[in-house]
Amino acid sequence: MRAAEGGAHENGGRHISGSERLLCGHQLEEEAKELVARALAHERGQVDFIRITIDRVDKRRLQFVTALHAAASQHDSIDKAKAAAKTYLVQAGVHKGAAEKAIALLSASEDYPGAYIMNAQTGAIMNPCGKAVRVSRMDWKEGEFVKWCGTYGYRPSLRLQEAVALASKTAASSFTVAELCWSDDLRYLTGYVASRSTGYIRLSPLKKEGSPTGGRVFFVTEETDMNQYIHFLSEVPVMIRKEGKMNEPHHLST
């Protein structure tokens, strides 16, 4: 589901909400209703464009990824939270200058409909033709998210469910070094750093309440094959599970 204000995204509409699920056929009708309700009630604005797309997924292509382990990093100021984010990114293998550039980028970014891809060493933006990249076709195996929340003491929420699924899929790519993200929702001040080495680290506060800024940056290796990388993120169906072998770099099978 994608929802926007002022028309379709491709016609300049302002992004309001987005979500997706991997489901069995009998669940489609009920989930479609929930996605529409979510779009209509979003705090970012009144939508006048909602698009729901349903694609059949070949089960033979479905791959499984183990969810990242979790930690939290709460701070008493935005500056301290951002400094901690930079420290975790550097620990994951991102160059200090690239980490600083990404934090500055998201601090000024509004309504960017996807992710920036950044060279983890140089800080160069690598998005093909400057277009945002969206991660798609991922969800949790039934019951696994509740188990994951129980392990780390979190109350289950749709926001957390989707964030950890996306972060876990992205981190599973052999090209991903780390991810930095915080929400562009006006009242949600928490974000995260994620990588195979650090896990999923929630950080707060990363902005002031009422600020529309935010987004996500994927830091990648200098050897990244962008066609393979984007194909994995957007096209390969992935189911997230709590248990399994430790995440090893995913070699982007198609």
Mean pLDDT over each residue of the chain, to the nearest integer: 90
Is the pLDDT score of 170 beyond 90? yes
Average pLDDT (122-133) is: 92
144 contacts 242 by C-beta, under 8 angstroms? yes
pLDDT single digits (tens) 1-55:
888 888 776 677 777 788 888 988 899 999 999 999 888 887 777 888 899 999 9
* 3-state secondary structure labels for all residues of 225-245: CHHHHHHHHHHCCEEEECCCC
CA atoms of 94 and 87, how far apart (whole Å): 9
pLDDT band at residue 249 under the 50/70/90 scheme: very low
Distance CA(216)–CA(184), nearest Å, equals: 10
Give the mean pLDDT of 189-214: 96
At 73 the pLDDT is 94
Report pLDDT for 186. Answer: 84
Q: Which two tokens stand for residue 247?
A: 């995440």
pLDDT at 184 over 90: no
Domain residue extents for the chain? 2-56, 63-241
**Phi, psi of 148, rounded to the nearest 5 degrees:** -60, -45
Task: List CB contacts of 31: < 8 A, sequence separation 6 or more.
Answer: 21, 23
What does the pLDDT look like over 93-121, one tens digit per residue? 999 999 999 999 999 998 787 899 999 99
- pLDDT at residue 248 greater than cutoff 90: no
Measured between alpha carbons, how far is 123 from 21 in angstroms, rounded to an integer? 32
pLDDT at 66: 96
pLDDT over threshold 60, residue 89: yes
